[in-house]
Each structure stands twice: as C-alpha cells, then as structure tokens.
Amino acid sequence: MLKWRWPNIALLCMACASAVAEGSASAPQPGYAQHPKAKAFIQEMVKEHQFTESELTSYLAKAERQDRILELIQRPAEKTKPWYEYRDIFLQPKRIKEGQAFLRKHRVVFERAAYTYGVDPYVIAAIIGVETYYGRITGDYRVLDALSTLAFDYPKRPLFWRELKEYLVMSREEKFDVASLKGSYAGAMGLGQFIPSSFRAYAVDFDGDGKKDIWSNPEDAIGSVANYLARHGWKKDQPVLKPIALLKPVTFNAHLKPYVKLKDLATYGRWKGHYQDDTLVTLVEYQQPKSKETLMGFQNFYVITRYNRSRLYARAVYELSRALAKSKAFKS
C-alpha cells in the first residue's frame, strides 16, 4: 500500500536507531501551525471534513518537523538493486524461521482470515514479514510528525497532504489520539504498514472488540491485510508467478497489470501447467547474477503490487510465502 518506494529494512533499522539518537540531542522543533501552508490546509479541512479551525491549529501545533524523514524519503532502494540482491534482503533463513513461528503462533487467525477472505495465508504472513519483520519493526516516528513534515516540507508532497488529511479524519472516526500513533517515516502504520487512506478503506476489526488495532493486535492486522488483498481482486488458488521459456523476443516489464492472453503467448514461449486460454498475464524480467529470467505474472501478482508497486517487491513476497508454506506447522 505504499505508493512511494520502500527502502530496504536494513536502511530502515539504521534510520530508527539514528532517529532516536538525533531526537534526544536536538532542540525542540517548532510545530506546523505557523507554517506558510498551514492556513490553506486548515481551510481545506474545515470545508471538506467539518473540523474546526481551533482543533486543526492545535493538532498542527503539536506536529514536529523531522529533518531525518526528509533525508530518508529521498533514498529509493528497489529501483537501484537487481533482483538477486533485492531478494537476499527478504529471503534470509532468519526471516523464514520467524515467519514460520509467526504462522504457528497465530494459526487459528490465519485459518479464519484465509477462509473469510479467500486469500493465501502464507502471502498475508509474507507481506507482514517483508513490511515489518512480523511486527517487530513497525516504525517509531509519530505519524503526525511524519505526515506533517512530508505534507508541508517535501517537494513531492500532494500524496502526503492527502494522507495527513486522511490521518486526521481516521483519528476522529476511530477516537485515536492524533499525537500518539506511531509509524514509519512515511506514515505507514502497524504490522502491515497501512497508510491512513488504506486504513480507512481496508482495516478491519477482526477480533470483534470494537477497535481496529493494527499496531498491537495481530488478529486485526492479519484480517486487515487479508481484506486488502481480497478487495484488490485476489483469486483463490490461482497462480502468482510462473516461469516461461521464451522462443521469441517479447516485451517485458511494460505493465504490472496482466494484459496478454495466454493463447496469444503460445507462439512466444512454453510453460508448465494448464490455465484457461483467456487467462491474462504480464511478462516480467528479473536479473540473476549471470542471466535474466522472464516470468508470467498473473492477477495475484498484480494484487501484491497494489501493496507496493514494484515487481521486485511482489516476487519477494511471493517467494517468501512459498518458503513459509514449506513449514509443516501450519496447513491452510
């Protein structure tokens, strides 16, 4: 659900540690209520969402600029790394082992999520594993600070301007304390790293206690990720990625969304398995150390890219999910 590129977890951890160090050493930053763009923001929120000027002013006064966030947002990892390096970040034995333990611990919840939403439980776990190491690294910035900093002081700010609005509306709807929720430097929250608009659209109260707690309640987080995938068109028991042996040159990496019918691909390559002739796929290429490989991405590949619009991300989630599925501890 991140529309911006997500740096690798190693960078993120370094960011967490240094942010703590900087935060303790630097002087308090002024709030955003006096920022030149604050008045426009407040006027839009009053008009669009019927907040009062005084409550908005008090929220923005509490928002602190975080310079570290402005540095971090400029560092894309996925565009620069080839697949064979990218995959190593997410497919180490440790992440697989912790994922299998996470699945065992929440086995009943995963079974219920898979049944309720028709989604592969291993893919849900893999997304949470890639996003936050199964909830271990969910981000330590105040969401109010992160989104305000990016909404007001980041040049490519329209997305964050919208997300800051969504955040304030979400907090009102859920009766959350605006100043206390935590997330990533980009305002992504909880085990599945939902940005506020995604929270409002897809978060669910999966344990029925009346709260949507994606921060500390794995049950709500697992249900919410499952709902996100279902609502974006996950097809139960259908493939994600399959190899294709090419017979002729093809166009690849043109689209994340499937657009070629398998019957029209037959003269271009061969694959294993039988699928309906009108099944749509896209062709994606991945760089290995000494070669390139082309895979067919199906609808479920596209659904994973709705979480993060990167073919590298989608394959990492898929491969991690297959590694988790080898666990004997959990049967869907």
Lookup: tokens for 170: 């979400």
What is the nearest approach in angstroms of Ca ion to the Cβ of residue 174?
Answer: 11
What is the nearest approach in angstroms of Ca ion to the Cβ of residue 221?
Answer: 10
Residue 38: strand, helix, or coil: helix
Residue placing its CB nearer to Ca ion in the complex, 44 or 207: 207
> Distance between CA atoms of 300 and 151, rounded to whole angstroms?
32
Are 20 and 327 in contact, with CB atoms under 8 Å apart?
no
Position 319 contacts Ca ion (CB under 5 A): no
Our CA dihedral for 311, 314, 317, 323, rounded to 10 degrees, sits at -70
Binding Ca ion (rule: CB under 5 A), the pick from 39, 49, 75, 211 is: 211
Pairing of strands 245-246, 269-270: antiparallel
Tell me the residue number closest to Ca ion, measured at CB: 205
> Distance between CA atoms of 258 and 306, rounded to whole angstroms?
13
Of 64, 131, 166, 219, the active-site residue reads 131
Span from 45-53, 107-115, 205-213, 312-320 in contact with Ca ion (CB under 5 A): 205-213
Binding Ca ion (rule: CB under 5 A), the pick from 44, 85, 174, 207 is: 207
Are 303 and 257 in contact, with CB atoms under 8 Å apart?
no
Are 73 and 149 in contact, with CB atoms under 8 Å apart?
no
Count of CB atoms situated within 10 Å of the CB of 40: 11
- The mark string for 218-247 relative to Ca ion (x by CB under 5 A, - otherwise) is --x---------------------------
Span from 36-44, 132-140, 203-211, 299-307 in contact with Ca ion (CB under 5 A): 203-211
Residue placing its CB nearer to Ca ion in the complex, 140 or 205: 205
Backbone dihedral region of 270: left (phi > 0), alpha (psi from -120 to 50 degrees) or beta? Answer: beta
Beta strand spans in the chain (E)? 141-142, 182-183, 241-243, 245-246, 260-261, 269-270, 280-287, 292-297
Position 44 contacts Ca ion (CB under 5 A): no
Classify burial at 122, counting beta carbons within 10 Å of its beta carbon; exposed 0-12, middle 13-18, buried 19 or more: buried
Active site residue 131: yes
What is the nearest approach in angstroms of Ca ion to the Cβ of residue 109?
Answer: 11
DSSP secondary structure, 154-173, as one string: -SS-HHHHHHHHHHHHHHHH
State the number of binding residues for Ca ion (CB under 5 A).
5
Span from 176-184, 216-224, 252-260, 291-299 in contact with Ca ion (CB under 5 A): 216-224
Span from 36-44, 141-149, 206-214, 227-235 in contact with Ca ion (CB under 5 A): 206-214
What is the nearest approach in angstroms of Ca ion to the Cβ of residue 204?
Answer: 8
Per residue in 174-208, is it b (16+ CB within 10 Å) or e — as a string? eebebeebbbbbbbbbbbbbbbbbbbbebbbbbbe
Binding Ca ion (rule: CB under 5 A), the pick from 55, 140, 174, 205 is: 205
Binding Ca ion (rule: CB under 5 A), the pick from 209, 245, 253, 266 is: 209
Span from 40-48, 114-122, 214-222, 248-256 in contact with Ca ion (CB under 5 A): 214-222
Question: Catalytic residues, which ones?
Answer: 131
Residues that bind Ca ion (CB under 5 A): 205, 207, 209, 211, 220
